[in-house]
Amino acid sequence: MKTSSKTTMTKTKTRKTGSLLLVILAIAGGLFLPAMGYGEEKKTASVIAGTVFREPGFALPGAVVTLEELEPPPKGKRSKPQKVSSDAHGEFAFRLPPAETKFKLTAVAKGFGTQTKETATVPGVRVDVFFELKPESR
Report which secondary-structure segment, H or E, holds 130: strand 126-133
Q: What is the pTM of this model?
A: 0.66
A 10 A CB-CB count for 107 gives 27
pLDDT of residue 40: 46
In the structure, what pLDDT confidence band is assigned to residue 137 with cuts at 50, 70 and 90?
confident
How far is C-alpha 82 from the chain's CA centre?
18
Q: How far is CA 46 from CA 9, 49, 66, 127, in A?
A: 60, 10, 16, 8
Q: What are phi and psi of 23, to 5 degrees?
A: -65, -45
Distance of CA 18 to the CA centre of its chain: 42
Provide the mean pLDDT of the chain.
80
Give me the DSSP letters along 102-114: EEEEEEE-TTB--
pLDDT of residue 112: 95
The 10s digit of each residue's pLDDT in 74-88 is 666 667 899 999 999
Q: How far apart are the first and last CA of the chain?
A: 106
